[in-house]
Structure 1
Amino acid sequence: MSSERVLSWTPSAIVFDCDGTLMDTEKHWQDAREHALGGYGLIAAPGFADRAKGLHYTECGRLMAVESGHPDLTEELTGSLLRIFLELVAENPMTMPGARELVASAATFAPLAVASNCPREVVESCLDTAHLRDYFDHIVVPDAGTRPKPQPDVYLTAARRCGAEPADALAVEDSLCGVEAASRAGMRILGVGPWPGERTTAMVDLWVSSLAEPDLSRWADARIPRQATR
């Protein structure tokens, strides 16, 4: 890692992941997986939470069905997973520490986008509830022409819509799946969360335990506001 590739640089755009990066929803996904499986009398295999982190919910549902030995239940488990997750988010939406402050500061010097594997309605609902939606110029999610992470499509599309080359944009991610997507897109990467191990950190430029890290706040505050550069 080379922290100076982030902390001494002003990106042309910043693209944030949503789940686990901006919004504290990983526990909701974990609970939703357990409840969905439990509805069919099944339990997740050991280590499933790590394997599922960051996956598109349809891929997660497929993996749940396959690993539980019931691939025939893929459609039912996928639908149940999304329904339960939406209920949990509506009951208890929470932002990650430092997310609100960093987003507000970053929006003064760069266009912002969200690139997520979640359905659009989930992302927009989370951001609206957290009063973050107005900071983002674009929300990019998988669709018929845009593959989910770990493919680079959502990051490439987000950078393009922000008017930036991928190499001039910063991705903010918390999962191996997302880091792989941003790395394949050719972006600089800020990773956040508990230390994930060498496989993930080898692909990022800076890893922090929280978006509330003082170094990040000082970096964002030191950038030149966009209106001052016109």
Structure 2
Amino acid sequence: MTHPALLFDLDGTLLDTDSIHRDVFADMLRPTGLEVTEEVYLSKIHGRLNAEIFADLMPDAGDPQRLSEDKEAEFRKRLPRPYPAMQGAERLVREAQVAGWYMAVVTNAPRLNAEAMLDAIGLRDAFDLIIVGEECLRGKPHPDPYLEAMRELGVKPAMCAAFEDSPSGMRAAAASGAFTVGIRSSLSDADLRTAGAQATYADFNDITLASVRAHLRETNA
């Protein structure tokens, strides 16, 4: 029998790095006159691919991909090590690891960032694979990264639970057919459910492997 799978977004889900990203974007966008407030960050930046963000907000600043690479290099420079995981995340991940569940990170972050963040929270060893949006045909909000994770793990969507914190990520997870769980690190229950969440939690403290299994059973009943 195939084991179920847990599929995790990274930024804002397994660890809360939004403040670091926001500060880097604020510094880079300052010459445009755009102030990166919380509202601007959530509406124009959060959950999107970097190249799209720079093409949209800095259309005259040069190659969006180069700007993306500069931005992420600065993020890695500012990321403290070690860094705390989201509350309850390590317990759930280790519980799933012991139970033999498959686990993957599914992120729009560049691969170097994903590796750096997982190392910073001490959980790199727990994951079978890392799926990066920019390495797929389409990143989130399209379901391609989640579908690729399912394909590589050999697990059907009905046996997967996906954890997300952004509207674009939640839409991608919902479109993949996974059971969708929203982490309220920056958005409300209503916002996440509007984007496709079937359940939401403030963090991972109230989520157990047993509760995830029960949700999967209910969904497939």
Structure 1 residues 80 and 162 mapped into 2: Cα distance closer, same or farther (>3 Å)? same
Check 1:53–1:143 CA distance in 2 against 1; reply closer, same or farther (3 A cut).
Answer: closer
| Identity, % of aligned positions | 29
Which of 157, 160, 169 is equivalent to 2:160?
Answer: 169
Listed one character per residue, the Cα deviations across residues 17-61 of structure 1 (whole Å, up to 9, x for unaligned) are 0000012211111111111112x3633366321121111222222
CA contact (8 A) 2:8 2:105 kept: yes
| Letter matched to residue 72 of structure 1 | D
Equivalent residue number for residue 4 of structure 2: 12
Query: Per-residue displacement from partner, 1:131-173 (whole Å, max 9, x unpaired)?
Result: 1011000100024543110010110011121210112211011
Q: What amino acid does structure 1 have at the position aligned with 2:177?
A: G
| Larger RCO (alpha carbons 8 Å, 6+ apart) | 1
Structure 1 residue aligned with 2:112, among 117, 121, 140?
121
For residue 5 of structure 1, what is the aligned residue in structure 2?
none
- In structure 1, the partner of 2:219 is none
Shift of 1:123: 0.3
Letter in 2 for 1:24: D
| Equivalences, count | 206
The answer to whether the 8 A contact 2:22-2:36 is kept is no
Pair 1:29-2:21 in alignment:
yes
Q: Match for 1:185 among 176, 197, 200?
A: 176
Q: CA deviation at 1:93?
A: 3.2
The equivalent of 1:63 in structure 2 is 56
Cα separation, 1, equivalents of 2:213 and 2:50: 38
The alignment's C-alpha RMSD in Å is 2.5
User: Which one-letter code corresponds to 2:156 in the other structure?
Assistant: E
2:197 matches 1:204: yes
* TM-score of the pair, normalised by structure 1: 0.80
Query: 2:40 is aligned with what amino acid?
Result: F
2:11 maps to a residue whose letter is D
* Change beyond 3 A, Cα 1:208–1:183: same
